[in-house]
Amino acid sequence: MHFTIKNNSGENIENLMRSLRYHIWGVSNEDKKTNFIRPLEGGGAYPRFHIYLQYNKTTKEVALDLHLDQRRTVYEGAKAHKGDYEGELVEKETERIKAFIQKLQ
């Protein structure tokens, strides 16, 4: 699920994501988007929420691509995995992120 929000809180984007219980997973080589992940409650590496984030410091807009990784890739070198880009869990997580950031404004 793709959505954009404003970050007028003055908070550093990495700290903001940490407050949402996400941790940085690296930066994509192709599009320079920062990756953040948050495992679902109950521990384990999967399933987990995965966000590709791009932050525009000038406009303070945060573009997020959120999905739910159900499991790791099956084939070595493959990028494809079982991911949910829609659905109740993804929608609830989107609303949680939006509500948290709006509270800080």
What average pLDDT does range 39-44 have in this prediction? 83
Scanning the structure block, which residue is given the tokens 């800080």? 104
Q: What integer pLDDT is reported at residue 43 of this predicted model? A: 73
Token output for 64 = 């997020």
pLDDT tens per residue, range 53-88: 999 989 999 999 999 998 876 655 555 557 788 999
User: Could you tell me the CA-to-CA distances from 66 to 19, 35, 55, 58 in Å, in that order?
Assistant: 17, 10, 14, 23
Q: What integer pLDDT is reported at residue 78 of this predicted model? A: 53
- Residue 34 CB-density burial (10 A; 0-12 exposed, 13-18 middle, 19+ buried): middle
Q: What integer pLDDT is reported at residue 30 of this predicted model? A: 81
Q: What integer pLDDT is reported at residue 64 of this predicted model? A: 97
